[in-house]
Structure 1
Amino acid sequence: MTDVFCCKECNVEKPRTEEHWHRDKNVPDGFCRKCKVCKNSYRDQWYRDNWQKCQENSAAWRKANRAQFDENMRQWAKRTAAERSAYKKQWREANIDRVLERNALHYHANKDRYRQNGNKWRAKNRDKHIAGADASRKRHLDRYRVHAAKRRAMKQNAPGTFTREDIKAQLIAQNGRCYWCSEAFVGDNHTIDHLTPLSRGGSNYPSNLVCACRSCNSQKGPKTPDEYRLYLKEFGK
């Protein structure tokens, strides 16, 4: 049967176990005279009353025992890695707008440093960078297509812009088929084609965009719609 002991602070009887009492090697039965609730309450209150002194003592100990402190931190980081990672992920998901805003502000305030670090990393990890870029491109094909088309338009100083939603709407309007040859797209193998080529004064507005298979887009090149239709009629796809 478990012994029962009365706390010297709150006078409440509790089973003499580690659930209710801290260990104390200076006491005959190995447990403190005050229960955990009272000891913890006293400790917390003392810390609040002596906060400045605690900070100074901690700083002095870290300075005098730097190697031990660093080792303690490494061990703590190793023990809590999974728990901290899960908490960070959960917090980011719950505060994604705040995270994106903070990251954007930090990037614009340190743009040169980001570019330098990125260039250094890519130079040292060329194969890894290429593999990661290819994997990202496959995951976000629509985004890459839009980005590539916009870059081409910028080089030509073409007016207008569009979004991924515009391309999705165009795909639906074309029933998922190539604008030129009417072959059904398989997966995400469509490309963005400018009806009037950028090199010939075409715009980057949605009204000048269609979805085409890679073969037709490559064949069409800088041709106008009428020129490409004549080409298809004469030579076929």
Structure 2
Amino acid sequence: MPTTPAQRAWYERNRERLKPVKHAEYLKNRDKYLAMSKARRERDPVAAWEYNTLWRAENADQIKVKQKQYREANVDILRAKGRQYRVEHREERSRYAYKWRKGNREAFKAYHTVWRHKQKRENPFLWAFKIMLINARRKHAGGHCSPEQWLARVIMHGWSCFYCGKPLTGQTLTADHLIPLIKGGSNWPSNLVPACKPCNSSKHSKTLSEFLTWRARVVNCNA
């Protein structure tokens, strides 16, 4: 390393030209340099921390570029590591998330509001499906329906309301349980039908036969 002012000045003038030479030297003696670096950290951890902090600050742009290149070249590896970490630290991450939400209620509320509107705007179909699953879990309903199975049900019914035949879109589609959860209905695909919001709200906790009888009576009264 340059020690005198003249040596440091020369080094700065020739920094770019020396980079490949220094890198080749490092690769050739990598174990030696790692051992020396570890010894310096153990000998004076404060000085090592200050040096590393200063180096990262001076080379922030270079570090960002290299990190981006690494992420792009190792997408699958990083995703697998991320999944493994989340599984192995599930309880720890849940405790941390709960603690953070509790200590940052307003920030979490604002973040969640923005996230919710973004989800509803970008994928209303999946958002409505998630809400249906959440409500089913709260009522301890049995059965499971995947997004793919639910989409297949919607397509089978021609993207129209099961009860009135009104055409549906991602914004107007809701999932209704033929046998209401409150009356023992399940969350299996066979118990789910696409419905418009008015029909879903009107049916509420009625069974199919109860709803059809009720609707016929309403129609007769309005005739």
Please say which of residues 193-202 and 211-220 is displaced more in the overlay. 193-202
Corresponding position of 1:183: 166
Q: How big is the shift at 1:121?
A: 3.7
Q: How big is the shift at 1:90?
A: 4.6
Q: Deviations over 1:135-182 (max 9, x none)?
A: 124334344333333333333333322221221111111011110110
Corresponding position of 1:4: none
CA contact (8 A) 1:177 1:183 kept: yes
User: Counterpart of 1:192 in 2: which secondary structure?
Assistant: strand
Over 3 Å counting, the alpha-carbon distance change for 1:141 and 1:81 in structure 2 is same
Over 3 Å counting, the alpha-carbon distance change for 1:222 and 1:112 in structure 2 is same
Corresponding position of 2:4: none
CA distance in 2, matches of 1:36, 1:72: 16
What's the TM-score once normalised by structure 2's chain length?
0.73
- For residues 103-122 of structure 1, the aligned pairs below 5 Å read 103-122=86-105
CA distance in 1, matches of 2:92, 2:119: 26
Corresponding position of 1:88: 71
Q: Deviations over 1:11-49 (max 9, x none)?
A: xxxxxxxxxxxxx959xxx99xxx998776556545544
Corresponding position of 1:164: 147
Q: How big is the shift at 1:61?
A: 6.6
Specify the code of the residue in structure 1 equivalent to 2:47.
A
1:135 counterpart = 2:103: no
CA contact (8 A) 1:142 1:164 kept: no
Corresponding position of 2:39: 56
Between the two proteins, what is the percent identity of the paired residues?
A: 20
Q: Of the two structures, which has the highest relative contact order with CA contacts closer than 8 Å and spacing of 6 or more?
A: 2
Q: How big is the shift at 1:212?
A: 0.3
What's the TM-score once normalised by structure 1's chain length?
0.70
Specify the code of the residue in structure 2 equivalent to 1:71.
L
1:214 counterpart = 2:205: no
Please say which of residues 45-54 and 197-206 is displaced more in the overlay. 45-54
CA contact (8 A) 2:144 2:188 kept: yes
Over 3 Å counting, the alpha-carbon distance change for 1:140 and 1:100 in structure 2 is farther
User: Counterpart of 1:167 in 2: which secondary structure?
Assistant: helix
Structure with higher strand content: 1
User: Counterpart of 2:199 in 1: which secondary structure?
Assistant: helix
* Superposition RMSD in Å: 3.5
CA contact (8 A) 1:122 1:129 kept: no
Q: Deviations over 1:170-215 (max 9, x none)?
A: 1111011110110111234211101121122222222211010111
User: Counterpart of 1:134 in 2: which secondary structure?
Assistant: helix
Corresponding position of 1:71: 54
1:223 counterpart = 2:206: yes
CA distance in 2, matches of 1:182, 1:25: 82
Which protein is bigger by CA-based radius of gyration?
1
1:149 counterpart = 2:132: yes
- For residues 6-25 of structure 1, the aligned pairs below 5 Å read 25=10
CA distance in 2, matches of 1:71, 1:111: 35
CA distance in 2, matches of 1:214, 1:25: 76
CA contact (8 A) 1:62 1:69 kept: no
Specify the code of the residue in structure 2 equivalent to 1:171.
V
Structure with higher helix content: 2
CA distance in 2, matches of 1:43, 1:98: 28
User: Counterpart of 2:112 in 1: which secondary structure?
Assistant: helix
Q: How many residues align?
A: 209
Q: How big is the shift at 1:221?
A: 0.9
Over 3 Å counting, the alpha-carbon distance change for 1:54 and 1:154 in structure 2 is closer
